[in-house]
Amino acid sequence: MQRRLANVNVWTVTAAIIMILLFLPHLTIVTSIFSPSNENWAHMKEYVLGSFIKTSLILIGATAILTILIGLSLAWLIAQYQFPLRRFLKWALILPLSIPPFIGAYTYHGIVNFTGVIQTTLRDRGGMDLNPAYFDIMNLPGAIFIYSIFLYPYVYTITRIFLSQQSASLIESARMLGKGPWHIFFQVVIPISRVSIIGGASLVVLEVLNDYGVVKYFGIQTFTTAIFQTWFGLGDIESSIKLAASLMGFVILILMIEKLLRGRRQYSYSTTKVRPLPLIQLKGWKAFIATGYGLFIISLGFFIPIAQLIDWMILTFGTIPMGEFLTYVKNSVTVAGITATAIIVFALIVGNFSRLVYGKIAKLLPKLTILGYSIPGAVIAVAVVTAFIALDRFLEPLYRMIGVDTTLVLSVSLMMLISAYIIRFFAIGFNSIESGYDKIGTDFRDASRLLGVGLTKTFIKVDVPMLKGAIISGFILVFIDVLKEIPLTLILRPFNFDTLSTKAFQYASDEKIMEASQASLLIVCISALAIVVFYKFLEKEPD
């Protein structure tokens, strides 16, 4: 007790306040489980909840399997073999991540639909009149394809980095023991990369559960679309909170399964010494297949949709007034910039706190705030709106005092949207900052304090400069995630406030696919640029 009391200072108090604010909205959801339910909810529980769960399970199950197949095979090829275009493919294979799945979804729909490039070509040039139903991708398998082709980089990146940096001695000793490549792949590579594979796949699963754009566009009923419908269609906030609580339960279940699958091996690094895996040269048809496979995936996940988007943009350029478009850009950059800055500042404070304080509770609190990333946007939206409306009610006397004649002030402001972003994406910034703190350790801080410099000044003069890399990469990651975000922005934005992503989504939903291309391309370009900067320069990975 004495130890804990002595540690109370400006830092710990600020950190505690931040963590409580980040966590509070989730509590409103949890408590809703205990509130009495209404008719709508009873109806939903009886007739539709089961089908949401079934659809979600199929979506995440199939997507997880496909992303693992694609991600792991590519990771292994790049980590172990030398073949033409390998260096290019190594980082280009991450690029599909820069295309938000909803943009990918409407682009692919545009490519394969009746007036799309494939069917028109077949009709006009090939003289074939095929049944349009063959080309329908607006269904469950179509959604699975979209998710897999745009989300596999999560598995690919994590597994490849693990394989090329950590597995050299294991794989080489397997080779010395006379095992062939297939043997090694199944008996050594898969078991040792289990933690990274599961880590990547669970990110994919959480992304799928969070997604609203693809399923809405394809007309597939899932938790997220149901939360929206109950809220806006039925105007029943209570039931949508209950739906959100069910989805949250679902996510917690997945996190538990993930922990179980990882087993006791919670860490993927067996040694801190990085020894790159030497590459084996592929020749002849083997090299051809390897290059071809990589190019095939990257074309599906990046080049084909980009080519289509560029084509549409050229066709529609000028139809959207430039001034209007620039407003969306300004809005996007403003909210993403404010959010990323706030998250980095908060993460620095909370990260510093978890270094300074002992005890299980102190270590657990930051972990709880990370939960925000696994909680789908629709759930956070519900939670934040509920919290802000309560806050407005609480502040009503104050509003009257200063002569504001409306009762809703905060809950119609941009602050609500930004708060929701912060809760949702805090984990991304925090992970980056925390690993930065881990890397520098506590010796530098201790050394500074023993030279007579206090905690706050040490933080500014020693910690922040040493964390520069982590700060920049955390900022970039949060920034592009906010840029691509859909469900939170749609629900929580102030009236008439549009960003690049909401505008792209609206155009696509209104079947103005071509008009959506301009905003989409800008999102993709910024994200792709950030990814290249991030992996090629900040991570400074050897080739």
Contact positions with another protein (CB under 8 A) in 450-489: 450-455, 461-462, 465-466
Half-sphere exposure of 113 (CA within 13 A, CB side): 13
Q: CB of 146 within 8 A of CB of 104?
A: yes
Query: Quick count: other Cβ atoms within 10 Å of Cβ 443?
Result: 8
Output the smallest distance, CB 325 to another protein, in A: 41
At position 16, the amino acid (one-letter code) is A
DSSP three-state, residue 82: strand
Output the smallest distance, CB 538 to another protein, in A: 16
Q: Counting contacts by CB under 8 A, is residue 1 touching another protein?
A: no
DSSP three-state, residue 266: coil
Which CB, 6 or 401, lies closer to another protein?
A: 6
Which CB, 141 or 359, lies closer to another protein?
A: 359
Which CB, 405 or 443, lies closer to another protein?
A: 443
Q: CA geometry: angle at 329 spanning 325 and 330, to 5°?
A: 115
Output the smallest distance, CB 433 to another protein, in A: 17
Output the smallest distance, CB 454 to another protein, in A: 5
Binds another protein by CB under 8 A, chosen from 39, 124, 443, 543: 443
Cα 517 to Cα 109: distance, rounded to the nearest angstrom:
13
What x/- string results for residues 176 through 215 when contact with another protein is judged by CB under 8 A?
Answer: ----------------------------------------
Nearest to 84 by CA among 283, 304, 277: 283
Output the smallest distance, CB 517 to another protein, in A: 44
Which CB, 308 or 448, lies closer to another protein?
A: 448
Q: Please list the residues that pair with 82 across neighbouring strands.
A: 281
Output the smallest distance, CB 16 to another protein, in A: 18
* Residue span binding another protein (CB under 8 A) among the ranges 48-56, 386-394, 444-452, 518-526: 444-452
Alpha helices, H only, 81-139: 86-92, 101-112, 117-124
Q: Counting contacts by CB under 8 A, is residue 266 touching another protein?
A: no
DSSP three-state, residue 280: strand
At position 61, the amino acid (one-letter code) is G
Output the smallest distance, CB 11 to another protein, in A: 13
Binds another protein by CB under 8 A, chosen from 267, 360, 403, 405: 360
Q: Counting contacts by CB under 8 A, is residue 367 touching another protein?
A: no
Dihedral of CA 256/257/260/261: which sign?
negative
Q: CB of 496 within 8 A of CB of 486?
A: no
At position 519, the amino acid (one-letter code) is A
Output the smallest distance, CB 260 to another protein, in A: 24
| CA 311 from centre of chain | 28
Which CB, 275 or 461, lies closer to another protein?
A: 461
Output the smallest distance, CB 9 to another protein, in A: 10
Binds another protein by CB under 8 A, chosen from 87, 181, 390, 446: 446
* Residue span binding another protein (CB under 8 A) among the ranges 74-82, 122-130, 386-394, 447-455: 447-455
Output the smallest distance, CB 150 to another protein, in A: 38
At position 12, the amino acid (one-letter code) is T
Q: How many helices (H) and strands (E) does the chain have?
A: 29, 2
Binds another protein by CB under 8 A, chosen from 80, 308, 448, 527: 448
Contact positions with another protein (CB under 8 A) in 3-62: 3, 6
Output the smallest distance, CB 446 to another protein, in A: 5
Q: CB of 168 within 8 A of CB of 275?
A: yes
Dihedral of CA 451/454/455/456: which sign?
negative
Which CB, 125 or 360, lies closer to another protein?
A: 360
Q: Please list the residues that pair with 280 across neighbouring strands.
A: 81
Rg over CA atoms, the chain = 25
Q: Counting contacts by CB under 8 A, is residue 542 touching another protein?
A: no
Nearest to 370 by CA among 22, 31, 15: 22
Binds another protein by CB under 8 A, chosen from 30, 444, 494, 510: 444
Q: CB of 77 within 8 A of CB of 507?
A: no
For residue 464, give both structure tokens: 């922040």
Q: CA geometry: angle at 363 spanning 361 and 364, to 5°?
A: 65
Which CB, 441 or 494, lies closer to another protein?
A: 441
Which CB, 232 or 444, lies closer to another protein?
A: 444
Nearest to 416 by CA among 446, 445, 391: 391
Q: How many residues bind another protein (CB under 8 A)?
A: 22
For residue 213, give both structure tokens: 């754009």
* Residue span binding another protein (CB under 8 A) among the ranges 56-64, 338-346, 367-375, 445-453: 445-453
Length of the chain: 543
Output the smallest distance, CB 442 to another protein, in A: 8
Which CB, 294 or 436, lies closer to another protein?
A: 436
Which CB, 365 or 504, lies closer to another protein?
A: 365
Q: Counting contacts by CB under 8 A, is residue 358 touching another protein?
A: yes
Residue where the block lists tokens 């139903």: 133
Output the smallest distance, CB 8 to another protein, in A: 12
Positions in the binding site for another protein (CB under 8 A):
2-3, 6, 358-360, 443-444, 446-455, 461-462, 465-466
